[in-house]
A and B are shown apart, each in its own frame.
Chain A
């Protein structure tokens, strides 16, 4: 099946720094990617929809200035957590929709962010 690669898988940073997480579709083009956040023992919360070549669409309650999303190409979307704080510590998962228009999402393996 289609492969989505997410990097880094784990990152630890100091409070106040910014962290960038990459999401790549390795064998298909993804015009749309999605970013989710998962707290321990909870479900996935959709943060934003990333559209290639245009601005991301954020879900209600998600700070767009805190979580910067860029989708510069058909195979890469990035999430930057700016001025990270301990409460931003979480598991971030990206997914990509293939251009075959099936609606199926292919998920990355997630990035665990720990802010000290």
Chain B
């Protein structure tokens, strides 16, 4: 079974400041890792994903994440945030075999202040 922990429930940050949203996971099998963003009353949008290869993954809207196998982490970063980045961010872990069951972390609310 796999699990995923998002260490911060809320992250307030000023506009144009850098931000890091933390995600740790555990799994007994190989996994894929994802970050999704959800704006109010909307579905989920994929920001980026790690399937294999380079551990530094670049996504949309200037976000990037680094897969660290030894620390079982997949933290999301952005060097300079905008007001429009205010949203809920979910880290997800999916099995790479056997049905691809994917579970989500509890979410981190990013709040960008002017």
Query: A34-B102, A46-B101, A49-B99 known; A104 and B32 CB under 8 Å?
Result: yes
CB of A32 closer than 8 Å to a CB of B: yes
Contact yes or no, A110 B103, CB < 8 A: no
Nearest neighbor of B91 in chain A, beta-carbon distance:
A43
Nearest neighbor of B30 in chain A, beta-carbon distance:
A103
**CA of A67 to CA of B93, assembled, Å:** 24
Contact yes or no, A109 B100, CB < 8 A: no
Cβ distance B106 to chain A, nearest Cβ, rounded Å: 5
Query: A93-B44, A109-B43, A110-B43 known; A44 and B100 CB under 8 Å?
Result: no
Q: Which residues of B contact A93 (CB under 8 A)?
A: 43-44
Nearest neighbor of A105 in chain B, beta-carbon distance:
B102
User: What mask results when residues 78 to 116 of chain A are scored 1 for a CB within 8 Å of chain B, else 0?
Assistant: 000000000000000101010000111111111010000
User: What mask results when residues 32 to 66 of chain B are scored 1 for a CB within 8 Å of chain A, else 0?
Assistant: 10101000011111100101000000000000000
**CA of A103 to CA of B104, assembled, Å:** 14
Chain B interface size band reads 20 to 34
Contact yes or no, B42 A109, CB < 8 A: yes
Query: A43-B104, A46-B102 known; A102 and B42 CB under 8 Å?
Result: no
**CA of A105 to CA of B102, assembled, Å:** 8
Nearest neighbor of A97 in chain B, beta-carbon distance:
B100
**CA of A90 to CA of B46, assembled, Å:** 22
Q: Which residues of B contact A44 (CB under 8 A)?
A: 44, 90, 104
Nearest neighbor of A44 in chain B, beta-carbon distance:
B104
Query: A43-B90, A43-B106, A44-B104 known; A103 and B51 CB under 8 Å?
Result: yes
The interface centre, meaning the residue of A34, A44, A107, A109 with most chain B CB atoms within 10 A of its CB, is A44
Closest 7 CB pairs of A and B: A109-B43, A103-B32, A110-B43, A107-B44, A44-B104, A103-B100, A43-B106
